[in-house]
Chain A
Amino acid sequence: MNIPLNPSPRYSGMAMALHWLLGLMIVGAFAVGLYMADLPMSPTRLKLFNWHKWAGITILTLSVLRLLWRFTHRPPADLPAPAWQNLAAHGTHWALYALFFLVPLAGWAYSSAAGFQVVWFGVLPLPDFVGKDKALADILKERHELLAWALAALVLLHIAAALKHHFIDRDGLLNRMRPGRD
């Protein structure tokens, strides 16, 4: 793929918007997911489960846009750092991208297998890619949770690395993703 070189040391406005919006949504969806899982049946539980699913589908959709944007817009060049660090950073980024898709997809499939169709914002019914199947639902629930924890771990690693670069190495890394300052 022939992507024009990006002379800017910063990410594009769209990349920043998607980064921060999705970051907030993913942290929010994870926290709600963690909290709701063991709630006894109540309107609150039902509400949180549906909000969680709507958030998950929104994350999935925005991640598609984000990936398309990433493929068509070159990110800023790597800051000078040991090769292994740049390699680890890129590896983490692609693993994060993979999980942006895998976590919601596993959750969607889990919901379908459990017999609850996902209806986006209570309005748009989404197709069930798997039928109602209790045994499959149990497996998918476990996968969804496992993948979500993997995503949480990578997000923490990503944040820790960014903070380390910015505040310990003092290489101004965060400025690349900080909106509104040129």
Chain B
Amino acid sequence: MNTVIRSVAWASLALAAPLAQADQKVLPAQSEIAFVSRQMGVPVEGKFKKWDAQLAFDPKKPEAGKVSFSIETGSASFGSAETDAEVPKAEWFNVAKFPKASFQSSAMKGLGGGKFEVTGQLNIKGAVRSVVIPVAITQAGANTTASGQFTIKRLDFKIGEGDWTDTSMVANDVVVKFKLTLSGVAPL
């Protein structure tokens, strides 16, 4: 009996070990998640102002790493009042029904030279798609910067319904760009 308890205790410790870097944080004030869509050839950049991330990542053991994001869809802003008024509508993010978008990593791997690849599930507006995200890590002092970009198809997530499905007006490809400042990450 004692042995069983002890092994369980050891097992949980072992399991908990990769998550022991609980002091790792993404610093939202110094980070940015932006997206660029094209409207009749015109690049229009927006940002998510409110989001939260959980991170457990050791650059030396990327396979054990995990990251998840929770993004408030209603915080998307293009910086122009008339466009921002559109964002919450049912055709776009339908914020009333889907207030949050999320990303949950399922695998991470190191490509060498501070480059990593994060695979995971992106959940927007109730649609889930697998995405592979290239991430470049640089470090300066105590802070680590993770940046990269990837492209999603907006129609995969029903972003822009009805008349707005016309991709000659608003391109299907949307580039998501991020630059995250992380604290507490071990050196590369």
Contact = CB atoms under 8 A, between A and B. Distances in A.
B85 A43 contact: no
A41 B41 CA distance: 18
B91 to A, nearest CB: 10
Contact of A46 (B39, B43, B45, B79): B39
Given A41-B86, A43-B166, A115 B44 contact: yes
A123 B40 contact: no
Contacts of A41: 82-83, 85-86
A119 B42 contact: yes
Interface string B66-88: 00000000000011101101100
A117 interface: yes
A43 B164 contact: yes
B80 A114 contact: yes
A122 interface: yes
Contacts of B86: 41
Contact of A42 (B40, B80, B163): B163
B78 to A, nearest CB: 7
Contacts of B43: 117
Contacts of B164: 43
Interface of B: 39-45, 78-80, 82-83, 85-86, 163-164, 166, 169-170
Interface of A: 41-43, 46-47, 50, 114-119, 121-123, 125, 132, 134
28 contacts: A41-B82, A41-B85, A41-B86, A42-B163, A43-B164, A43-B169, A46-B39, A47-B40, A47-B169, A50-B39, A50-B40, A50-B41, A114-B80, A115-B44, A115-B78, A115-B79, A116-B42, A116-B44, A117-B42, A117-B43, A119-B40, A119-B41, A119-B42, A121-B41, A122-B40, A122-B42, A132-B79, A134-B79
Given A50-B39, A115-B78, 14 more contacts: A41-B85, A41-B86, A43-B166, A46-B39, A46-B40, A47-B169, A114-B80, A115-B44, A117-B42, A119-B40, A119-B41, A123-B41, A125-B41, A132-B79
